Structure 1
Amino acid sequence: MNWGKGMAIVMMLFIIFIVGMSCYMFNMPADDYDHQYYEKGLNYNKDYVKEKQVVTDQAQPIIKQVNGEISVEFKQPAIGTIKLITPLGKSNDVTFPLNTGSGIYANVPLIKLSTGRWAIRIDWNSGNKSYLFQQDLYINGK
């Protein structure tokens, strides 16, 4: 075999490799990224300020699981939302409205929730200030 045939074979193999990789990459699913990436980036500073406000005011809520409910104790009356996030996907996440009235306790029923690892995200207003608290928790049976 002479040099010309060898170079032609190497170039053909390289072209086949490039075409194969291009086809493979174009057939990859397009959903491998977070569609709300930029919106989350813009809102990150707002969430950071709320989380820092919890530390500054020492307003960390106390979370307990009692009698088939999650009990959340605040320092002052609170209005907002409690979101329970599961690693099983967004369709299984549950959001509850939060309004303690004149008290400081809020209860979340565990009726719809499966046993396992969850994350709780509490976003509330209290005393003209906004707060955000996140914590991992394990939900036992009902």
Structure 2
Amino acid sequence: MKINWGTGLVIGMALFISFILYFVIKISTDKKYDYDLVTEQYYQKEMVFQKEFDAEENSNSLETNISGEKTAEGWMLTFPKNIDYTKIEGTVFLYRPSNKQLDFQLPLKLSSPNLLIPDKRLVAGRWNTIVQWSYEGEDYLYKKEIVY
């Protein structure tokens, strides 16, 4: 049987489409390739966007903002020195884009201007750090992507 160029083209396209579909189905059904890139409450978070924007602007207007650095014990967050750290209230949320089971939240109870996130809680990779805090009635927000 002789195959002309039109039949060969259709067979080639069918094989290519089958090849692509195989990988699409494999990636979408295999748990090994499961990535949680958005939060569960996406639309609820969108509703409070303006409050977050204002809080982030408040943080940027500070003389010095929160800074973070890797230490031997873990990740150290340092709050501004010119404010009374005993009046700070809020939470620290560490979000892992690749695995939501690793996400965790810590309350802010400071006994010094520094907060240590222990090394044992942080798995190597990318983390999104979100610190929501208030000081004397003003809300502040610090967001930083870190690679630990």
More strand by share: 1
Query: Given the alignment of the two structures, is residue 120 of structure 1 paired with residue 129 of structure 2, yes or no?
Result: yes
Structure 2: distance between partners of 1:119 and 1:100: 21
Which runs of 5 or more structure 2 residues have no equivalent in the other structure?
Answer: 1-37
Please give the secondary structure, in 1, of the residue aligned with 2:121: coil
Structure 2: distance between partners of 1:137 and 1:34: 18
Give the Å deviation of 1:73: 0.9
Give the Å deviation of 1:130: 1.2
| Match of residue 106 from structure 2 | 96
CA 1:129–1:34 in structure 2 vs 1: closer, same or farther (change >3 Å)? Answer: closer
CA 1:98–1:34 in structure 2 vs 1: closer, same or farther (change >3 Å)? Answer: closer
| Match of residue 49 from structure 2 | 44
Structure 2: distance between partners of 1:48 and 1:128: 16
Please give the secondary structure, in 2, of the residue aligned with 1:99: coil
More helix by share: 2
1:47-97 alpha-carbon deviations (Å, 9 max, x no partner): 111001011223410101111211111113132111111122322211111
Question: Between Structure 1 and Structure 2, how many residues are aligned?
Answer: 106
| Match of residue 80 from structure 1 | 90
Give the Å deviation of 1:35: 5.8
Root-mean-square deviation (Å): 1.9
Which runs of 5 or more structure 1 residues have no equivalent in the other structure?
Answer: 1-32
Overall identity of the aligned pairs, in %: 22
Structure 2: distance between partners of 1:36 and 1:94: 16
Please give the secondary structure, in 2, of the residue aligned with 1:39: helix
1:23-52 alpha-carbon deviations (Å, 9 max, x no partner): xxxxxxxxxx97634322211111111001
Structure 2: distance between partners of 1:58 and 1:133: 14
